[in-house]
Chain A
Amino acid sequence: MDLKAILLVGGIGSTGPDASTETLAAVPLAYLDVLGATVLERVVRRLRQLGVSSISLISGASDEVRPYAERAALCANVSVTETAIGEFWERAEESFEQFRQDGAELVLIVRIGPYIELDYEELIQHHIDKHCRMTSVISPEGEPLGTFVVDASRRADASMLLGSALRQVRDDCERFQAQRYINPLRTAGDLRRLALDAFLEKNSIRPVGREIKPGVWVADGARIHRKARVVAPAYVGAYSKVRAAALVTRTSVIEHHAEVDCGTVVENSTILPFTYVGAGLDVMHSVVGFRRLAHLVRNVEVEISDARLIGISAAEAISRLAGSAAALFAFLPKQIYRGFFGRPRQVCPAELPEALAEPAAALETPDVKEPASGQEVSEFPSSFAVVRRYGEH
């Protein structure tokens, strides 16, 4: 059976009153990393395992977000169709028509959107057994989850579904209840919950990397300073840096190419890719990235424009290299200037004062007189403590 899939990212929630949902700093949550791989990448991997021959990604994000969409599509190895938000559903219809002409028998339409761990084989089997035109996946509460199986021959049904932004289906649409893990992935808190559930093994997401000690996963190229502490469970992504005296604890996640500077505490938080977290900070219960901090307890998203607190590094390796080189060239003259004109270090005096040279009184043998007999001891009042040197009986 020829099975093809259309993935929809950014169509709903990108405009109108829901503009802030399913995104962080306007980037769809599907393009963000969770323990080393994007949500999109993980969905694509599951579809490939199912035997889907062709996957088309329709991305309806804004121009600023386009690089993230392209990078996510590249990692997931799918062809991406970038489109303006107004033409999003038209492009989806065109993609469906293309698949139909290419000879597909079934088309899987998946909106990300919610992260669902489905038994796709069971879903397809259910669809075939029921001889229905379209099957909609619903939650145990009966809410549609944005995943559909459509017969490729049913062009009108698909057109109605996609034309209504997945809101209208024909009456004879079959329902398939998802029984496994479901994450609505609407807010940054849901993204954080996804990582937390992965640590607790409530879903099938596993960290991309090596478990260097129980509960601590480190990906290739990560650099953790020997004076930094990473307390399990925690994840440190590829090519990320955890500087001296930093602490990463309580299910915190440092994604790839992120940097945690000296002395910073990261607790119950996610640091998104290419994010720099400044020195001496307390990052708690937050998702940090794109110069923003989404505080999950206070339920607020704050833009932090000061690069000394929260910064962002370039996604391209050449740009990062150029930035590092520029920082080095700025650093060296400063150090040379300090070497010549700065205040000299205080040198300890060669001869110590006599008082310091003498042994401390505490180190001398204490002048404790042993009682000659038990009668003398009994003369002391009972409130006195009896002092005895260690090692004597």
Chain B
Amino acid sequence: MESISRPVVVKRMPERMTLKQARSFLREVEPLLNSDRPQVVFDMSQVRHIDAAGVDVLLHCMPQAMKHDGDVKLAALSLEAAVVLELTRTGRLFEIYENSTHAVKSFSSFLPNALKHFYPHPAHHAAPLVTPEAFIGNSDGVDIAA
């Protein structure tokens, strides 16, 4: 069932995602988003300051990728980023993964991967309530039907 056909691009977001940085970040990722079926993961582990402009960029990237039959997923949210995404109701629009590896894997599997995403929470950071393995069945993540 697993098929790795297209590359997944992991892009690390800068520490500050205010207007200036958000613009330059958008300029960097726009070619990726305009490619055919883009599969992009934004690693937000470094983000310490994010404002409305940073959130706007995320909201701009999502439909842009979907227009080309692709998807944008978020990974490794810092606490600051998680708070702002929750505040602006943006977090619920994206699939969010604990780390980039899980996010990349999610592109190569079918439906059960959609259940993998969880919203990072300090109490469950080490052991999320919904672990990918719980739905996959074995560590290879292949036996979806089982």
Give the interface of A toward B (CB within 8 A): 280-284, 293, 295, 297-300, 302-306, 308-309
Known: A281-B89, A304-B51, A306-B51. A299 touches B122 (CB 8 A): yes
Partner of B79, one of A300, A305, A309: A300
Partner of A298, one of B51, B52, B82: B82
Partner of B88, one of A299, A300, A309: A309
User: Which residue on A lies nearest to B120, using beta carbons?
Assistant: A298
**When the two chains form their complex, are residues A305 and B87 in contact, meaning their CB atoms are under 8 A apart?**
no
**When the two chains form their complex, are residues B51 and A302 in contact, meaning their CB atoms are under 8 A apart?**
no
Output the residue of A284, A299, A305, A306 with the most chain B CB within 10 A.
A306
Complex Cα distance, B84 from A293, in Å, reads 9
Complex Cα distance, B33 from A156, in Å, reads 74
Partner of B83, one of A293, A305, A306, A308: A293
The 7 A-B pairs with the shortest beta carbon distances in the complex, nearest first, are A306-B51, A300-B79, A302-B83, A302-B80, A306-B52, A295-B83, A308-B52
Complex Cα distance, B86 from A305, in Å, reads 16
Partner of B87, one of A282, A297, A300, A303: A282
**When the two chains form their complex, are residues A281 and B51 in contact, meaning their CB atoms are under 8 A apart?**
no
Give the interface of B toward A (CB within 8 A): 18, 49, 51-53, 79-80, 82-84, 86-89, 121-123
**When the two chains form their complex, are residues A303 and B86 in contact, meaning their CB atoms are under 8 A apart?**
no
Complex Cα distance, B82 from A308, in Å, reads 18
**When the two chains form their complex, are residues A309 and B18 in contact, meaning their CB atoms are under 8 A apart?**
no
User: Which residue on A lies nearest to B78, using beta carbons?
Assistant: A300
Complex Cα distance, B86 from A298, in Å, reads 11
**When the two chains form their complex, are residues B88 and A281 in contact, meaning their CB atoms are under 8 A apart?**
yes
B52 — which chain A residues lie within 8 A by C-beta?
306, 308-309
B88 — which chain A residues lie within 8 A by C-beta?
280-282, 309
Complex Cα distance, B91 from A282, in Å, reads 11
16 further A-B contacts with Cβ under 8 Å, apart from A299-B122, A300-B79, A309-B88, are A280-B88, A281-B87, A282-B87, A282-B89, A284-B86, A297-B122, A298-B83, A300-B122, A302-B80, A302-B83, A303-B49, A304-B51, A305-B51, A306-B51, A308-B51, A309-B84
Distance of A282 from chain B, by nearest CB (Å): 5
Complex Cα distance, B88 from A293, in Å, reads 13
Distance of B121 from chain A, by nearest CB (Å): 7
B53 — which chain A residues lie within 8 A by C-beta?
306
User: Which residue on A lies nearest to B87, using beta carbons?
Assistant: A281
**When the two chains form their complex, are residues A309 and B83 in contact, meaning their CB atoms are under 8 A apart?**
no
Complex Cα distance, B124 from A299, in Å, reads 13
Distance of B23 from chain A, by nearest CB (Å): 15
Known: A302-B84, A309-B88. A297 touches B51 (CB 8 A): no
**When the two chains form their complex, are residues B122 and A298 in contact, meaning their CB atoms are under 8 A apart?**
yes
**When the two chains form their complex, are residues B122 and A309 in contact, meaning their CB atoms are under 8 A apart?**
no
Complex Cα distance, B80 from A295, in Å, reads 10
B121 — which chain A residues lie within 8 A by C-beta?
297-298
**When the two chains form their complex, are residues A282 and B80 in contact, meaning their CB atoms are under 8 A apart?**
no
24 A-B pairs with CB atoms under 8 Å apart are A280-B89, A281-B87, A282-B88, A282-B89, A284-B86, A295-B79, A295-B83, A298-B79, A298-B83, A298-B121, A300-B80, A300-B122, A302-B79, A303-B49, A304-B51, A304-B87, A305-B51, A306-B51, A306-B52, A306-B53, A309-B51, A309-B52, A309-B84, A309-B88
Complex Cα distance, B49 from A280, in Å, reads 20
User: Which residue on A lies nearest to B90, using beta carbons?
Assistant: A282
